[in-house]
Structure 1
Amino acid sequence: MFTELKREAYEANLEIPRQGLAIYTFGNVSAFDAARGVFAIKPSGVPYDRLTPDAMIVVDVDGRTVEGRGRPSSDTATHAVLYRAFGDIGGICHSHSMYAVAWAQACREIPILGTTHADHLTAPVPVTRPMSDEAIERNYEIETGRQIVERMRGLDHHEVEMIVVACHGPFTWGGTAHKAVYNSRVLEEIAHMAYLTETINPAAPPLKDTLIRKHYLRKHGVDAYYGQS
């Protein structure tokens, strides 16, 4: 019934270890079918080399299992909150990549310091506020999703497809599950470059607006000219 959706989720999940975004069973990717209001996600605690398309678990946007055996990822409720809030996205990736996690643990947004960052978004990578004790005790995974949605207010989730959750780690999304993983790999590269830049020069200034606009719009604007038409 959900063969293609599960295959998309399976293939995207395999990119997490291939791209060095997590070790062991850390991380997860989901693929969303907005028309049917369901998403396929990795089962909890299963090593990537033991995954199969049939092992993917399909749940609805309220987190109820629709198809599959076993327990879905422990982050399923977070994915569900984001799909309810950003209904036109097609995939979500949560990784534990080293440099993005470091910025999250430092509770810092990732400043826009260079053109690699500007190729993908025109602002710092946002960071959520730290979660309150009350929220942690209520429903940690749901509250993580709510933190992200709260921080994204006033931002366009089509233009800002990545965030770091304070004290936790990165979440990214996109039009497909594969684009969500792509954004996670880009985020890790941006996070690494920003760390190295501030290590070399703690007073490094933000990238100037003219360069931000030039690099973003040449890829994403109506007059974009990067790549092949």
Structure 2
Amino acid sequence: MSQYNAIKQEAYDANMQLPKLGLVLFTFGNVSVADHNKKVFAIKPSGVPYEELSPEKMVIVDFDATIIEGSLRPSSDTKTHAVLYKHWNGINSIVHTHSTYATAWAQSQLDIPILGTTHADHTTSVIPCAPPMSDEMIQGDYETETGYQIINCFNERKLDPSETEMMLVGNHAPFTWGASSHKAVYNAAVLEEVAKMAFVTLQINPTAPSLKETLIKKHYERKHGPDAYYGQ
């Protein structure tokens, strides 16, 4: 019996949520689940259709992107996940999709503005879009550089990945993460919905103003603040 069965099962379950939530088409996405104590993570194998997946097919990789266990090649995005786990200790799961509206915003190279309370329920900032990768980065270790593209964006904007658990990579697609695979997948679904709402809002009113700070603070803190009262 593998010592990694727990994270393989969790990664499988999380990956299977993506098509159910309408966040992936064909094999356009992946979820990983980390064990920071062992410095490894389980991730979807590359190019395997969701209906053919099983917990046993999840690949175990260390934080240097070296395969530890598994007979299949891991996701082509594995090195990106490895970089994020290595630098952000507080995240235990990462989701990457090419969901339609979030990817459209990424392709537009624009942040998703904070226009309403649904957005503010989940983060107090715009959803950032990292600038497109430089030619030097593209021609280097591309997937590794994508991880640094994400980290650099957060560092430059002084954002905390434990507070803003979603972002866009310019010209590419969204990434989300969380303390659990459930939260990371939840964030991927929320990001897609917020991206859709923002797009529709700006179609109705291209000059729609950002949400005012008092309302942002109220909605975020009622769910996440020290005196949060949302839920049971």
Normalised by the length of structure 2, the TM-score is 0.97
SS where residue 116 of structure 1 aligns? Answer: helix
Letter in 2 for 1:188: E
Q: How far is 1:226 from its partner?
A: 0.4
Match of 2:198 among 194, 201, 214: 194
In structure 1, the residue matched to 2:10 is: 8
In structure 2, the residue matched to 1:218 is: 222
In structure 1, the residue matched to 2:117 is: 115
Q: Where do residues 57-96 of structure 1 align in structure 2 (5 Å cutoff)?
A: 57-96=59-98
Letter in 1 for 2:162: H
- C-alpha RMSD over aligned residues: 0.5
Q: How far is 1:187 from its partner?
A: 0.2
User: For 2:210 and 2:109, how far apart are their aligned partners in 1?
Assistant: 18
Tell me if structure 1 keeps the 8 A contact 2:59–2:74: yes
Q: How far is 1:64 from its partner?
A: 0.4
SS where residue 149 of structure 1 aligns? Answer: helix
In structure 2, the residue matched to 1:135 is: 137
Q: Which runs of 4 or more aligned residues in structure 1 lie more than 6 Å from their structure 2 counterparts after TM superposition?
A: none
- Where in structure 1 are there 5+ consecutive unaligned residues? none
Q: Where do residues 94-173 of structure 1 align in structure 2 (5 Å cutoff)?
A: 94-153=96-155, 154-173=158-177
Tell me if structure 1 keeps the 8 A contact 2:90–2:162: no
Tell me if structure 1 keeps the 8 A contact 2:103–2:168: yes
Normalised by the length of structure 1, the TM-score is 0.99
Match of 1:22 among 24, 32, 42: 24
Letter in 2 for 1:107: Q
In structure 1, the residue matched to 2:40 is: 38
Residue-by-residue CA offset, 1:52-103 (whole Å, 9 max, x unaligned): 0000000000000111111000000000010011112110000110000000
Match of 1:204 among 183, 190, 208: 208
Residue-by-residue CA offset, 1:173-224 (whole Å, 9 max, x unaligned): 0001221111000000000000000010000000001110110000000000
Count the aligned residue pairs. Answer: 228
User: For 1:137 and 1:90, how far apart are their aligned partners in 2?
Assistant: 29
Tell me if structure 2 keeps the 8 A contact 1:34–1:88: no
Letter in 2 for 1:207: L
User: For 1:179 and 1:91, how far apart are their aligned partners in 2?
Assistant: 8
Report whether the alignment pairs 1:175 with 2:179: yes
Letter in 1 for 2:139: E
Q: How far is 1:106 from its partner?
A: 0.1
- Where in structure 2 are there 5+ consecutive unaligned residues? none
User: For 1:70 and 1:158, how far apart are their aligned partners in 2?
Assistant: 32
SS where residue 29 of structure 1 aligns? Answer: strand
